Structure 1
Amino acid sequence: MAATSAQPMGSLPSGMGICTTAPDIFYLPELVFGGLVWILVASTHVDPPNPLGWVMFVSVFCFVMTFLWLIIFVSGCHKNGSGWAAADYVYHGLAAIFYLSAGVALAHITFGKKTGGDMKIYKIDIAAVVFAFVTFLLYFMHAIMSSIRWKNF
């Protein structure tokens, strides 16, 4: 007999139910990998400031908003309705687009630092690029699963 999740796909979880439902299980990995991007980019000299400033904005904004979204779901402040399900889909879709653009910008900057310069900073930037794309994939999968949940309401 197959095990079923605690929440049906068409309802929004609350409390510790977010640790067992399909799209909501991505909250903690999103926070971890997004926080790693933030830490790694902040640990190097932000040069050039324009694209790396965007990467910092994306990582900090998404970290804070995902944490707030997690708190809302854990505390049960949301109501089971298509409005919250739609907002969940829209936020995670927007975060995926943000992280894709930040990852591409960071990869472009890192590729430019390949020749000359400090190899330690180059390796840190490579790690940040990898984590940015992993975070993009997490937000993208969360958005896809959230859209399925929203459509099942």
Structure 2
Amino acid sequence: MASNTVTMGHLPSGVGVCTTIPDILYVPELIFGGLVWILVACTYVVPHNPQGWVMFVSVFCFVMTFIWLVVFACGSHGNSSGWAAADCIYHLIAVVFYLSASVALAKVTMDFKSDPFTKDYKLDISAVVFSYVTTLLYFVHTILSAIRWKSF
């Protein structure tokens, strides 16, 4: 049986979203992005501004990725190179947002390490790790989306 998992010349729809590269990355992006959102929301850190940016990025990217997944799953996108370009551009924006949020979250966590045995510190460390994993997932998705866009 031949599997058609690497189909870079078209945009999938329906169940194909869960079986094609790079679209299979939507699910891990949602899972890890949701974990960042939950972990940051569970902590209390004095500098609210970086944490507010991290919350904005995680919620914004979670909602937009879910909407993007639904658009592809419903087949509302058609099969044009414009949607392939939009997919690449959205994921590039998500990479830039998540990278800036990850760096800010890591800086706040490093400043907070005066008591490394507190629950908030451990949650922040977990949030930093998941934030960088999410950044990596969005980066890989961006590269693969750019390859698909150029193959149109």
Root-mean-square deviation over aligned CA pairs: 1.5
2:20 is matched by which residue type in structure 1?
Answer: T
Letter of the 2:74 partner, please give it.
S
Tell me the matched-pair count.
152
Structure 2 distance, partners of 1:76, 1:116, is 50
Q: In 2, Cα distance between the equivalents of 1:118 and 1:60?
A: 28
- Note the 1:97-108 alignment, pairs <5 A: 97-108=96-107
Which amino acid counterpart does residue 37 of structure 1 have in structure 2?
A: V
Superposed CA offset, 1:29-77 (max 9, x none): 0000000000000011142111110000000000000000000000110
User: Residue 71 of structure 1 corresponds to which residue in structure 2?
Assistant: 70
Give the alignment of 1:4-153 within 5 angstroms: 4-5=3-4, 8-116=7-115, 119-153=118-152
Is the CA contact 1:46–1:53 (under 8 Å) kept in the aligned structure 2?
Answer: no
Shift of 1:8: 2.6
The runs of 4+ residues in structure 1 deviating greater than 2 Å are none
| CA apart distance, 1:119 | 1.3
- Give me the whole-angstrom Cα distance separating, in 2, the residues matched to 1:7 and 1:125: 36
Mark the runs of 5 or more structure 2 residues left unpaired by the alignment: none
Q: How far, CA to CA, are the matches of 2:126 and 2:3 in structure 1?
A: 36
Taking the aligned partners of 1:85 and 1:134, their CA distance within structure 2 comes to 24
Please state whether the residue corresponding to 2:134 is helix, strand or coil.
Answer: helix
Using the size of structure 2 for normalisation, the TM-score is 0.96
Segments of structure 1 that go 5 or more residues without pairing to the other structure are: none
- Aligned-partner Cα distance in 1 for 2:105–2:141: 22
CA distance in 2, matches of 1:61, 1:6: 29
